[in-house]
Amino acid sequence: MPDIVSVEYQQTGNSTSTNPYGMREMQERAFEYRDAQYMLLKSPPASGKSRALMFLGLDKLINQGIKKVVVAVPERSIGSSFAPTDLKKFGFFSNWMPKDNYNLCTPGSDGSKSKVSAFHNFMNNDEQILICTHATLRFACEGLDEKKFDNTLLAIDEFHHVSVSGDNKLGEILKNIMDKSKAHIVAMTGSYFRGDSVPILLPEDEKKFTKVTYNYYEQLNGYDFLKTLGIGYHFYQGRYTNAIMEVLDTDKKTILHIPSVNSGESTKDKHNEVDFIIDAIGDVVKQDADTGVIHVKRKTDGKILKIADLVEDTQKERDKIQGYLRDINSADDIDIIIALGMAKEGFDWPYCEHALTVGYRGSLTEIIQIIGRATRDSDNKTHAQFTNLIAQPNAEDDEVKLSVNNMLKAITASLLMEQVLAPNWKFKTKVSDDDKAEPGEIKIRGFKQPSSQRVKDITGDDLPDLKAKIFQDKTMLKAMPDPSVDPEVINKVLIPKVIRTKYPDLTDEQVEEVRQHVVLDSVIKNGTIKEVADKRFIRMAGSFVDIDDIHIDLIDRVNPFQEAFEVLSKSVTAKVLKIIQDTIAATRIKMDFEEAAILWPKIQEFVKTFNRQPDINSNREDEKRMAECIIYLKEERRKKAANNEG
């Protein structure tokens, strides 16, 4: 199947070069806001968040009166990212030197008495830096007075693990520390939007944070070697193990995530699945006793491949292979990593070219973290690829509705990724024909500029989060691939409803300003821009339009999500496509007055053009929807007449 998303980058080298203090572009940006009490650092995997925290922490310790730095990471293996680091040799004024006895990311239970005791001792002595897991932080904070965090910098890595859910202990601890102490907070994440409906922070708490954003396009466009990124899907029937070799290219450095044992794609025997995959690749020659690396002789040509099995349950064996993976420094050290729940975040394998994931992933956070495994810059690759192997819907299957729904969610997740990974444009209102756009700008007739700082903040910092909310909305999920739904209904009715839900404090005028920006940004990023001489054209809805002639009304008539579903329709069999279309039709969104108000002028135009009313049995989905609209309006008129008579 062709990639749904394909992005090309310019290899400027900006994101990997350093300033006189040894800071990369993102780290320098974060350091500009070093005086902020609360900082939310949104930055992609591999952009250098751990070192950015070192710079911030040392400045607060040395120049801002902060006495301690506590760094909390989601799992022990990530603690190595905050190991002692010589920063002076790169130009910084101090080194990051945590002591071994206060690095609590060591083997053993995260809630053990020894680790909790070490945390408490640290809070009561003169030591300055402690590194622990989220779990150790949770256990250590039980019964600990929040005042102990006065003049302490608490840094939470992979901040998306926090939420305002009542059963999220980390979220509760963070809120109490913010409410009851004078702590400084640095929250770091590469995937701020979540795969569920629970927000990370309440709006009133989020407003307290200074947001520093370094987007994915800046990161990837500023690499030296990586040139292109593709995101695609491959569908299979039966067991995934029988289809795995159709998408597993053993010439590419690959991290393969097999499905959760609780998912429909799993055979429920994860070890047997790993054995099957290895057998499909070739014959096992040996397993290194010291490292745990499995040496496999490839069937096609006899080449020896090195495979790491992270599905292994034995802690000793898993620690062995993880230790080996942490120390690799050459592309030849490993060829394929097979994992289940591990190696998704904070795992650095820069040589990885292909992230292959089996089974639908409901969490956008998980998807973006997995893609991040392949988007490190390395001289062994110019292309990075994410492939999702998904079960194909089967009409005889009782779970067909769930299967279609999972497929559509996977496609919408890729659409969001395209939005995140594409270049950002600045949109301005076009006043006259002589009003020319600056580089990186697009001027649109009828476009409403943000009228308040609140709207500027949303469109400037929160657009990926808002789009994630839109893509996860149940009504939007039904409407996006449904050809009967008019694009203006999506853009003018459904999207504003999501905006009002997420930002209830906005006025109708502000909602419209945000709506226009979201729709415009989505359409432009899903379009294809081409330059001919001194003119720029964008391909929208199958045709090229001169960018200088674009009006917001034209943008509103385009379904920004249409192209991905067209790719889908060309990539599955006619039978499967029929299953998908029938399932969509069965869950079609109900007609309401807002949609009818948009469709009525189109119905009038239809009658004028064809000299007849739309036919409910038409093969054209948009005509059928118009016919449904007429039925709806007649029924509403009947109800109104009945009420008047009553």
Whole-angstrom CA distances from 406 to 123, 335, 490, 575 are 47, 30, 21, 18
CATH 3.40.50.300 holds for 222-391: yes
Domain positions in the chain: 17-215, 222-391, 421-586, 590-646
Give the pLDDT of residue 195. Answer: 44
| Residue 595 in tokens | 């949609």
Which residue do the tokens 């009003």 mark? 435
Give the pLDDT of residue 267. Answer: 82
Give the pLDDT of residue 590. Answer: 83
Give the pLDDT of residue 346. Answer: 57
* Stretches in the chain below the pLDDT threshold 70: 1-2, 163-167, 191-200, 341-346, 362, 395-398, 541-542, 563-571, 646
Instruction: Say whether 569 sits in a helix, a strand or coil.
Output: helix
Residue 517 backbone dihedrals phi, psi, to 5 degrees = -65, -45
Give the pLDDT of residue 635. Answer: 85
d(CA 118, CA 130): 9
Can you state the percent helix, strand and coil of the chain, rounding each to 5? 45, 15, 40
Do 17-215 and 222-391 agree at the fold level?
yes
d(CA 30, CA 531): 35
Give the pLDDT of residue 396. Answer: 67
CATH 3.40.50.300 holds for 17-215: yes
Which residues lie closer than 8 Å to 270 by C-beta, 6 or more apart?
258, 261, 311, 340
Give the pLDDT of residue 354. Answer: 96
Q: What residue type is assigned to position 257 of the chain? A: H
* 610-645 residue pLDDT tens: 999 999 888 888 898 999 899 889 888 888 887 877
* 246-268 residue pLDDT tens: 999 999 999 999 988 777 778 88
Instruction: Say whether 34 sits in a helix, a strand or coil.
Output: coil
What's the order of all strands across the beta sheet hosting 254-257? 5-8, 228-236, 383-391, 354-358, 254-257, 336-339, 304-309, 294-298, 282-287
* 220-234 residue pLDDT tens: 999 999 999 998 888
Give the pLDDT of residue 370. Answer: 85
Give the pLDDT of residue 564. Answer: 63
* CB atoms near residue 399 (< 10 Å): 13
Q: DSSP letter string over 285-314?
A: EEE-TTT-PEEEEETTT--EEEEEE-----
